[in-house]
Structure 1
Amino acid sequence: MKQKYLHLLLLIGTYCMTAQNKEEIKNFFWNSNDNYSKIINVPEKYKNESAVIIYKNENYDFHKFGKSVTYTTSTRKRIKLQDQAAITEFSEFSFRDKFYVKKGFSWKKGTLTLGIKIVKQDGKEIEIDVDKESVTEDDSKKIAISNLEVGDIIDFYFHSVEPFKSIEAFGFEPVEATLGENYPILNLKMTFETENDFFVNFNSYNGAPELKKIETKKSSDRKYELIASDVAKNDFPRWFLPLVELPCYKFQVFFARSGKFEQRADAFLPKDESEIKKIVSKEDILDFYTSKFYPNGNLNDVNDFLKDKKFASEEEKLKEIYYFARHQFYTRYIEAYVLGETNIVAYPYHLYNSYPIFFNSEEQFIRYFMEYLKKNEIDYDIIVATGRENGPIKDILIQQNARVLLKINTTNPLYFGNFTPYSLPNQFDTSLENTNAYALKVTKNKKVTDIEEIKLPGSTNQNNISKVMLQTSFDIASNTLNISKTTSLFGNNKSFEQSNKMNFYDYINEDYERYQTTPLLELVRNKKMKEKYKKEYDALLSKLKDKQSESLKNATEKEYDVKVDNFSFTILNTGRYSDTEPFEYKENFSIKDNFIKKAGPNYIIEIGKLIDSQVEISEKEHKRENNIYTVFPRTFNYKIEFTIPEGYTANGIEKLSKTIENETGSFISTVTITNNVLTLEATKKYNHDYEPVSNWQKMIAFLDAAYQLTQEKILLKKQ
């Protein structure tokens, strides 16, 4: 049975009451003035919909009481159920009626109230006794709604109160939501209430209604409404960015009691708390980041590293400084962090000669590198960008959606963005590729004085490549396929997988050797303590490696949707020091009694399934109304070498050759047999990260060809 989850983190909507009790809450939603309580039918045009939301009411409320702040959220939905799928969807609720809130500087107990009633087709109302009918499981409650029938209405609300204390500035989690859902909405109302000391950024996009101010009796109270009707549903298909195309709204509320806290706020605040800020201008960006980013750091370590070194170009020099800084201020301390977190060493950082400088944010790294650029009079800009899932930079509203990069204006510009153990120069979040951004111009390497709009570079499918080589043999006696698989990843394909396939012990020694750094435990002088620490550390590594191996094996089993045996995994190249070197690893495993079917003296081999799983476009997905946003252009190369068992021939190989090419991408596969080895080669390309919906059928053409290859078989015929 599919559950309808009402977990706290998914709550939307608000209403605040001074006397918070269940009867008052129920009366707020279900009262004699409720205009929607008698509506039990929906327009004829929606008769084929699985369900229709007759009324959706969201409420957000932010209030303070001395040092206490209360954030109250509530939502009511009245839904017509029109088929069995809808009944299943709403036949069970899971919720937490009590929880702890960690906001500000205190833990406080929060509460959630749930109300449910069923309206039968004859108008009879059945209210569910939630307290009596719900059962407790772990830290949540569940309630099953029985006897639902097609044509019934389920009318429910949930009301959550989150109290906390705050004497400083506090930013609430931003809300970014489309008006529409998976079902059409006949009537939608959203209310929004705040008071003094709450600063609000709010705007509507893509044709969503504006937030309208409602007059209140107290000048310190502020209330707003957003009302919409006949909101279309959306299926939210794969490769789609809802906030870019659908009617939506975004907001964030920031609590600040005084001017000094307003200055510290990590938000693009309105100038006055009585105003709703709808637009963040270039000037706002300039004002905010001018004070946030400044050159800062001691360059002695970098200068020592550069001593007596020569480089082919300024760009190569800066790249090497990047790699050195990544180690000196990040990976060098990973072992210390692990030993401290696992309590093997109480405070491992004391083993270093000086207090460690550890960069745990991109901002710290950028400020440090700005210091080097300033000292060496190298021209640079600070880039402020936002992921394309948030819409264009001109519509940025929420500061957390902004990303900051460093652009170094060498002959071939360098971008420094992500700062991780695997990050490279010119590598930044893929969602920023080909987007417009703001460049904060730094005059004489000292001060930000101007801002202009630029376009960030993008990658191509020649940059982002996955190469997969499988050598496969068939052991007839055990009915087993033995596979040796080597994967080489470049560009964004590389950065996507490094953190999934590597742990710190897979690369930390590589860094120690490159920079002649002493491993942490070698710094321990007491021989007895060193032996103790090493023994415990080795035991920890053994556990971590076992867990990693199991995780990697599970990933391979998920990829092929079968059980694998004799699994091993080896990293051949971490790919951490060059964008031209791959992240390369090898997997060995066997698959028994799968992809093989005996047919008399012959065998049918599902050879297509040895290629990584491919996108399957369902019949429903063929009809699409939204544009297509994939992650980035990319290429996948597959090569399978299958050794044909002695005494057999391979028949039916002609089905393995396919060619589909068009402007959106391609899939081409070929097959040959040489010296009893069948070689299947296939290449799939996504040409762009965006396609208009008019090109959807062209994409389906090469995607279907790739999927169809995974369904192809060959016959091993006994000679």
Structure 2
Amino acid sequence: MKLYSTVLLLFVSISSFGQSKEALEAKDFFWGANDAYKNATEIPEKWTNESAVVLYKNINYDFHKFGKNVTYKTSIRKRIKLLDKAAVEEFSEFKFQKRFRSTKGRITWREKGNNFVGIKIVKPDGKEIEIDVEEESVEVDGENKIAISNLEIGDIIDFYFYRLEPFKSTYAFGFDPVETTLNEEYPIIDYKLFIETENDFFINFNTYNGAPKLKELPTEKRNLRRYELSASDIDKSEYKRWFFPLLELPSYKFQVYFARSGKFEDRAMAFLPEREDIIKTSVSKEEVLDLYENRFRPNGNIGDVKDFFKQKTYENSTEKVTAAYYYMRHYYLTRFVEAIFAREANIMYNPFTNYGIPVFIQNQKQFVRHFTEFLQREKITYDVVVAKKRYDGSIDDLLLENNVNVLIRVNTPTPLYAELFGIHTNINEFSPLIEGTDVYLLSPTKKKIDVIKRGTLPVSTHLDNETKKDITVNLSDDFSAINVSSANHFKGHTKTEQLYERLLFNDYVNEDYAKYGTKNWIEMMRRKKDKARYKKELDALAEKLQTKQEEKFKAAAEADFNLEEFEDYTYTIDATGRYAFDSYFSFTENFSITNALLKKAGPNYIIEIGKLIGGQIDLEEKERSRTADVHVDYARSYNYNIDFVIPEGYTVAGLDKLNKSIDNDTGAFMSTAAVEDNILKIKTSKYYKHNFEPNENWSKMMAFLDEAHQFSNEKILLKKK
């Protein structure tokens, strides 16, 4: 069983330590005299055909402190009956690490956390076999592996992971939030969650979609608090394509915050309950305003931005705000990129000395305060937008501050949106997962943010988010290879991942230097010999990265066409598209395909022309019966123009199968094919028209998905004249 499977998402690392005091405590905690589930073996008749059934799932979170010392325990136990070969294989191997260093609180290299694991097999006749994890595990490259031998259908595997994490903290600290469904890949007979805290630990917790409520349990101490969530008879969840489980399935969310005193509670970046003994289940808009009114007040030294605007004129505020965003992206971020790479590659120990005392914007708070300072000085009104991703529920269900997305809406005639910039972000670009959501808008009257109201974010269309490819195809003279030249264009959200994957640091920082006339990292060095030395090392780094990059892109192109290997692969960037959301990032690939797509048939040739539009979704039979709504990341379109040069002495047959048309409320797939002179011209368009479709529209989506998949399997015949 792999650690990163659904079963073990709670844990990053685990370990086992013989029979130490802590190990014995962990074992007794789950398998001791009070184990009420040690004889659980039976499953309901309705689940006898499942791959496996979870007899018992128990999750525990314990938070305690003594002085500056905090002890955080997390543990999980699962008792699972294996009913087929697939389940036996799934649980026949565990992977884990041993001790770990805590990343919480005040970091020290001395203090390490321990993890303990226990595994036992229960045979159908009741015989128990406990695995000696310490003895039987093998460490390879810092990771421990253990194989579970003699595991058979009908066995029960009973295992636990127990993580003990001590650290020191004298300030407010938020533990990692937990958001999960009750359902998993196997049905569950009995499910229990326990949380234990004491004074100075604050809890936000709520359940959704019919999950049971959290109940408080009696405890032996006044300052000790224990809570339980108990559920049973939980069906499995087959997580489907375009599925948001937290919106569909019984689930819970919680976070525990540690704050020792009132002043730390006031500084906590969280929506805390009024007291430790109150479980907070919701957040009002007034609490949102209270938390952010000071955090996002305009503030920052923007003298450099003011200097940039000297002797520059703009027709309107839209142009000016747009120019300010891109200049800030460069001045506060991309001009430091070379230094960041130099440090990471150990080219220079402290490469930032060249900049004096730079302003380097690295988080949302800094960005909002700087950008709104500029807007306020320019007398341009704005709102701070507080949003929540679609997969996490509506803004009315806001509970955890970690789930908040913040951006700025600039109130120009057509509003502009500005989010914390990355190296390639654009004005009017923000996470597609908050598009169309209801949000809170925080507005200032002067410098103080003191007004909050509701709003809705715009939604990009399938025309805004486009992948366009212009592909020219030639056969080699001896028909041994297919030569392809593909000009690829991406705009809107489709280009975001492409930019981060395909641009090297020198591709974009040099573009910014040229645009703004600023000095690069090398030019800022004082000594001539330093300039020569570090330029040589930085160029060598760029060349090394480019070599790796081309190998990666070749593999990506092969995967896109669902083919094994290309020959003579070349790659060039044509335009970066980094200064407007609706501009194209473009690059051209050239390669040859051998031993694929082309098959001789007597004097003729069969060509799998449909595969040139890349792999298409092939819906499995079980996906066709869907009860959940459909959530895609964003509306988008794919437009392909394919020019196939017909070899001299040949004609093309089979064009009727290349002309298709499905266009409905949810999307479309349309294609045309015609011969002009000696060129077969194929055009295809595939649209996802919305980022959400109700379940009743699923049949309409399947119609265009199936048509696209069918096209990808179509062939043409080159007939000898």
- Which aligned pairs between 1:526-605 and structure 2 lie closer than 5 A? 526-561=527-562, 562-605=564-607
Shift in Å, 1:149: 2.5
How many residues of Structure 1 are paired with residues of Structure 2 in the alignment? 713
- Which aligned pairs between 1:420-459 and structure 2 lie closer than 5 A? 420-444=422-446, 446-459=447-460
Helix, strand or coil at the partner of 1:522: coil
Q: For residue 480 of structure 1, what is the aligned residue in structure 2?
A: 481
Is the CA contact 1:659–1:668 (under 8 Å) kept in the aligned structure 2? yes
Is the CA contact 1:114–1:157 (under 8 Å) kept in the aligned structure 2? yes
Matched, 1:200 2:237: no
Runs of 4+ in structure 1 deviating by more than 6 angstroms, as ranges, are: 1-4, 6-9
Cα distance per residue 1:600-628 (max 9 Å; x no partner)? 32222111111122122112211222111
Shift in Å, 1:686: 0.5
Residues 654 and 477 of structure 1: CA distance in aligned 2, closer, same or farther (over 3 Å) = same
Matched, 1:660 2:668: no
Q: Distance in 1 between matches of 2:156 and 2:7?
A: 22
Q: For residue 281 of structure 1, what is the aligned residue in structure 2?
A: 284
Residue 167 of structure 2: which of 164, 167, 174 is its match?
164
More off after superposition, 143-152 vs 586-595? 143-152
Residues 438 and 503 of structure 1: CA distance in aligned 2, closer, same or farther (over 3 Å) = same
Residue 149 of structure 1: which of 152, 159, 174 is its match?
152
Residues 487 and 217 of structure 1: CA distance in aligned 2, closer, same or farther (over 3 Å) = same
Q: For residue 326 of structure 1, what is the aligned residue in structure 2?
A: 329
Helix, strand or coil at the partner of 2:103: strand
Q: For residue 93 of structure 2, what is the aligned residue in structure 1?
A: 92
- Which aligned pairs between 1:316-715 and structure 2 lie closer than 5 A? 316-352=319-355, 354-444=356-446, 446-477=447-478, 479-561=480-562, 562-715=564-717
More off after superposition, 411-420 vs 226-235? 411-420
Matched, 1:118 2:121: yes
Q: Distance in 1 between matches of 2:697 and 2:141?
A: 48
Q: For residue 189 of structure 1, what is the aligned residue in structure 2?
A: 192
Is the CA contact 1:13–1:73 (under 8 Å) kept in the aligned structure 2? no
Helix, strand or coil at the partner of 2:460: coil
Helix, strand or coil at the partner of 2:379: coil
Q: Distance in 2 between matches of 1:703 and 1:283?
A: 45
Helix, strand or coil at the partner of 2:522: helix
Shift in Å, 1:5: 5.5
Residues 42 and 12 of structure 1: CA distance in aligned 2, closer, same or farther (over 3 Å) = farther
Is the CA contact 1:661–1:702 (under 8 Å) kept in the aligned structure 2? yes
Helix, strand or coil at the partner of 1:234: coil
Is the CA contact 1:12–1:73 (under 8 Å) kept in the aligned structure 2? no
Shift in Å, 1:214: 0.8
Residue 718 of structure 1: which of 703, 709, 720 is its match?
720
* RMSD value, Cα: 2.0
Residues 660 and 138 of structure 1: CA distance in aligned 2, closer, same or farther (over 3 Å) = same
Q: Distance in 2 between matches of 1:277 and 1:3?
A: 32
Q: For residue 237 of structure 2, what is the aligned residue in structure 1?
A: 234
Percent identity, please.
Answer: 50
Letter in 2 for 1:395: D
Is the CA contact 1:13–1:58 (under 8 Å) kept in the aligned structure 2? no
Letter in 1 for 2:252: Y
Helix, strand or coil at the partner of 1:488: strand
Matched, 1:314 2:314: no
Cα distance per residue 1:119-171 (max 9 Å; x no partner)? 22233322222233322222222222222232222121121111112222222
Shift in Å, 1:411: 1.4
Letter in 2 for 1:462: L
Q: Distance in 1 between matches of 2:28 and 2:578?
A: 61
Q: For residue 38 of structure 1, what is the aligned residue in structure 2?
A: 39
Helix, strand or coil at the partner of 1:21: helix
Letter in 2 for 1:234: S
Helix, strand or coil at the partner of 1:301: helix
Helix, strand or coil at the partner of 1:434: coil
Is the CA contact 2:492–2:583 (under 8 Å) kept in the aligned structure 1? no
Shift in Å, 1:362: 3.0
Residues 5 and 206 of structure 1: CA distance in aligned 2, closer, same or farther (over 3 Å) = closer
More off after superposition, 341-350 vs 563-572? 341-350
Helix, strand or coil at the partner of 2:493: helix
Cα distance per residue 1:619-673 (max 9 Å; x no partner)? 2211222111001111110111111111222222221121112211110111111
Shift in Å, 1:261: 2.1
Q: Distance in 2 between matches of 1:525 and 1:59?
A: 58
Q: Distance in 2 between matches of 1:12 and 1:219?
A: 34
Helix, strand or coil at the partner of 2:183: coil
Residues 128 and 5 of structure 1: CA distance in aligned 2, closer, same or farther (over 3 Å) = farther
Helix, strand or coil at the partner of 1:641: strand
Helix, strand or coil at the partner of 2:539: helix
Is the CA contact 2:88–2:151 (under 8 Å) kept in the aligned structure 1? yes
Q: Distance in 1 between matches of 2:704 and 2:8?
A: 42
TM-score normalised per structure 2: 0.95
Is the CA contact 2:368–2:420 (under 8 Å) kept in the aligned structure 1? no
Letter in 2 for 1:670: T
Q: For residue 271 of structure 2, what is the aligned residue in structure 1?
A: 268
Residues 182 and 67 of structure 1: CA distance in aligned 2, closer, same or farther (over 3 Å) = same
Residues 32 and 430 of structure 1: CA distance in aligned 2, closer, same or farther (over 3 Å) = same
Residues 652 and 235 of structure 1: CA distance in aligned 2, closer, same or farther (over 3 Å) = same
Shift in Å, 1:259: 2.2
